Structure 1
Amino acid sequence: MKKNLCMTTLAAMLASAAAAETGVTLFGVIDTGLEVLNNTPDANGNASRRSHLNSGNLWGSRWGLRGREDLGGGLQAIYHLESGFDSDTGASGQNGRLFGRGAYVGLAGKSHQVTLGRRNNTLYDYIYPFDPTGMAAYSALTHDAVLAGRADNAIRYDGQFQDLEMTGLYSFGYDGSLKDGGEMAGAPRIGRELGIGLRYAPGALAFGLAFDQRHGTSHASQGIADRRLAAGVSYSSGSVISYFGYRWFAPTSPDMSSRASNLYWGGLKYQATPAFSMVGMSAYTDTRGSAADPLTFALLGTYDLSKRSSLYLLASYASNRGGSNLGVNGFDEQIVSGSNQTGVIAGILHQF
């Protein structure tokens, strides 16, 4: 009996040690809602109403694996695989990539890490916390989708210095789905992306700053770069959090100066009860040298059924002025040219 007890104890100790050295986590989100839009073009181009199921309205639907191995001396090997999908159809997201939301491996210490692979850009991770809706479908992303961009073929450093976080990213070709999108011999600027980010959060007040530069994805456009500088601030006071954000955008080519713009947004989040929260925000794009300056408003109500499941109602109104053509989901074909648009989404989200 003593021998069996010793063997059982030893097995338990070995299992505990193995668990401490290596950890693998399966995680995911399924977010699906019913969206209703007005002023969408029908087959003849006339204004019509559209009703459809839509995925990833608050959080992108995804599943993934992440893990780490203890290498000793405070050093760990880490990896992250995250697959985005459309929960209304089951199709892979991010242009059909298997792990389009992230795929990287690296080394991490107590306060520093270096990773290689597909990563969020610096705008995504360092400006996202300053959008009141958390970069939901109707948010600052409506005005600029690159605020939640990702980069293939990236090397990224992340550091934590007490209340200060910082990051730096270099991509050899941010869109590997393009035939000649990067990593071309003799043309290192094709598809190159650079980014840096800082966030300081000592308490109720938090600040974020991020810079991103993307070069063209062809031999002809490699010398042209889109530059974005964004900043955000938030302040928490009891059950209310206030937000403000700004993004400056300019291409380096004078021939493309008409695309330059300033984007402003702000809003409030109110935690009415532990389970129910409300958000109100507005965003405005000032297109430099043009009167085409769209304005959007968004309202979001979220009710948590549990720690993992939530119901939500998200609504937005896009006001187009001076010839702008912005829908509640962005600058795309889902709005009749010159019209304003209203969108409403009712959905459910579950985390696992």
Structure 2
Amino acid sequence: MNNRTIIAAAALAASGVASAQSSVTVFGVVDAGVSHYQTTSKFDSKGVPQTVARPDLKQSQLALSNSGNASTRIGFRGQEDLGGGLAAGFWLEASLWNDVGVVGRSPLFFDRRSTLSLVSRWGELRLGRDYNPTFWNDAIFDPFGVVGVGTSLIAQTLGSTLPTLALNRGNYARKSNSVGYFLPASLGGFYGQAMYAFSENIDSAAILNDPSASNNARTGDYVGARVGYANGPLDVALAYGHSTIADNYVFGSTTKVKTTNLGTSYDFGVVKLYGEYSMVDVRTDFANQAAFPFTAALTPPLDVDTHNFLVGLSVPVGPGVIKASYSRVKGEFYSFTASGHTPLLSDDPQADKLAVGYVHNLSRRTALYATAAWMKNKNGAGVPVANVSSTDVQPGYTNTANSSAAGYRADRGTGYDLGIRHAF
């Protein structure tokens, strides 16, 4: 069954049950633009002796892109009033690449959100694939909403030599197989969310005690929560989550990604200010350190800590808004051995990014936009100016070819988005 058939079937199904629902809505966003990215790498004389002058290496890409201002998507949602203050609802939402006509991400179709809910005066219980608590602060307290070339580095270091967020990527924004709970909206400005996602891996004594078996019974689970307060111009929220990304029952090791972030915004009317501090850590713990086989053939696992921040603003100007942000990510690398944790680098890799943009609203649903970004890598960080995975909303752009050339390191990058966005 192709994507067109699936969409048609979903639309027919939605219309067919409309009589049983209080409301059924088809919604979405189509965002198209032209984007350009460029990365410059410099020769590092510390890594390879420089016998002749080595020119800078540049790599660039010009693309018809999407989601420069808002994530392109299509979705179906509905809700039925069950009486007594109780309601049931569903939400099915898929990513859409209008530049190439692709919907969803293989093997997922409704990859953005796929949930069934029960809502009451006590809050909402939500089952399925959904946004996790630790993602929200990155999205809400970024003036660019973690889309386009303006996306903060906190959400954009996939595929770089700061691998913490890359390891977290499968759990970064959304989790499948999750059970979530949301506080009701009647708490005087206080809000909150909690989530648990099942790993759904097989757990058996035969697997746990067989060194040749895939010992990943814990891998894939997620636990997280977020609490906040929004009243008038102020919004502030704290979130924490951890996900198991690797484990080995035989030797008692568990590798987890742990995220803690605090975000806030304050709207003065003439300007809205944003700020976020984020810590994303990868750590391997051992239940039985003495039994773990540290050998020359086995590279000790890395522990990576990143300390990240963002400051930003948005300024309403007539029918439009000016946006700007500055973000930084900095990584600390450790090696775990029998003697403990040992720092691996004398200088911590770091990347800095500045983004500026303007959105001109032609109507409530349609807008023109322009965004430009500049970034700088230090101490071996290899962060590109835009997301690099073909499964992300950005084109598949990467600076790997430059930074991996013998003796070269990624140095700086620039990029821009020019486009139009329509919501329906």
Q: Given the two structures, how large is their TM-score scaled by the length of structure 1? A: 0.85
1:216 aligns with: 245
Contact 2:279–2:307, Cα closer than 8 Å, also in 1: yes
Q: Distance in 1 between matches of 2:246 and 2:26?
A: 35
* 2:280 pairs with 1:280: no
97-106 or 133-142: bigger deviation: 133-142
Aligned-residue offset at 1:239: 2.3
Contact 2:127–2:180, Cα closer than 8 Å, also in 1: yes
- Structure 2 residue matching 1:253: 3-state secondary structure: strand
* 2:202 pairs with 1:184: yes
What is the correspondence of 1:1-352 to structure 2 with a 5 Å cutoff?
22-39=22-39, 47-137=58-148, 138-140=150-152, 141-143=155-157, 144=165, 146=169, 149-160=173-184, 161-173=187-199, 182-186=200-204, 188-216=217-245, 219=248, 223-253=254-284, 256-273=301-318, 275-288=319-332, 290-330=347-387, 334-335=398-399, 336-337=402-403, 338-352=410-424
Aligned-residue offset at 1:89: 0.6
Q: Distance in 1 between matches of 2:68 and 2:301?
A: 32
Aligned-residue offset at 1:218: 6.1
Give % identity.
Answer: 25
Runs of 4 or more consecutive aligned structure 1 residues displaced over 3 Å after TM superposition: 18-21, 93-96, 143-148, 185-188, 217-222, 254-258, 330-333
Q: How many residues align?
A: 323
Q: Distance in 1 between matches of 2:307 and 2:388?
A: 16
Structure 1 residue ranges without an equivalent (≥5): 1-17, 174-181
Q: Distance in 2 between matches of 1:222 and 1:47?
A: 42
**Which has the bigger relative contact order, CA under 8 A and spacing at least 6?**
2
Q: Tell me how large the CA RMSD over aligned residues is.
A: 2.5
Contact 1:40–1:50, Cα closer than 8 Å, also in 2: no
240-249 or 136-145: bigger deviation: 136-145
Contact 2:308–2:327, Cα closer than 8 Å, also in 1: yes
* Partner deviation per Cα, 1:159-210 (whole Å, 9 max, x = no partner): 132201111000003xxxxxxxx43334652200111001201221210111
Q: Distance in 1 between matches of 2:246 and 2:114?
A: 21
Contact 1:35–1:51, Cα closer than 8 Å, also in 2: yes
Q: Distance in 2 between matches of 1:115 and 1:87?
A: 29
Structure 2 residue ranges without an equivalent (≥5): 1-17, 42-55, 158-164, 205-215, 286-299, 334-346, 390-396, 404-409
- Structure 2 residue matching 1:123: 3-state secondary structure: helix
Contact 1:190–1:219, Cα closer than 8 Å, also in 2: no
